[in-house]
Amino acid sequence: MWVMDAMQVDTLPAQAALFADLCDYTRITEELGDAAAARIALELRRIARDVARRHHGRVVKTLGDGVHLHFVHAADAVRASLALVGQIASSDLPRARVGVNAGPMIAAGGDYYGRAVNVAARIAAQAAPGEVLVGEAVARERCGERVCFDSLGAVRLKGVSDEVMLYRAREN
């Protein structure tokens, strides 16, 4: 049985989690060394903070080659994802893969938890380099005329009991 301490825990209505991961980070850092790994990670953090700020989100955490961002609105997360992939592609960083999912989540200790968050991370792992994949709840959001979604069908994600409908987000 898990026991929670006196930490504040808030159950939030549907919000969006974005996970981005740089491709080939481990191989690149093996070839270029620890100083290069640090420069890459710091540049990713800078780009993620800039993108989150411009799209009404916030960086929850960074971990070397990955970032977790939070958004109140899924449409902001989608626009941020496309901007993040584009900004990373125009930098010297390796390409990124991104996953976005929306749903209820728990906010505690400055982080976010729950199925929607876990699924977002698993969706990111399915994306190809330079690709933004989203879950069904995100694809149902109106993201504006400049964003469209291509259905990829139902996919099994590691550790997730039910298949998840995935969509590729792209600029129209």
Q: What is the pLDDT of residues 38-51, one digit of tens each?
A: 999 999 999 999 99
- The Cα 107–Cα 43 span in angstroms is 27
The reply to whether 2 falls in a domain is: no
Against a cut of 0.75, is the pTM above it? yes
Q: Of 89, 88, 97, which is closest to residue 44 (Cα–Cα)?
A: 88
- The Cα 38–Cα 35 span in angstroms is 5
Print the domain residue range for 122.
Answer: 10-171
The reply to whether 4 falls in a domain is: no
pLDDT at 120: 97
Q: What is the pLDDT of residues 84-133, one digit of tens each?
A: 999 999 998 999 999 999 999 999 999 999 999 999 999 999 999 999 99
Total tally of structural domains belonging to the chain: 1
The reply to whether 83 falls in a domain is: yes
The reply to whether 119 falls in a domain is: yes
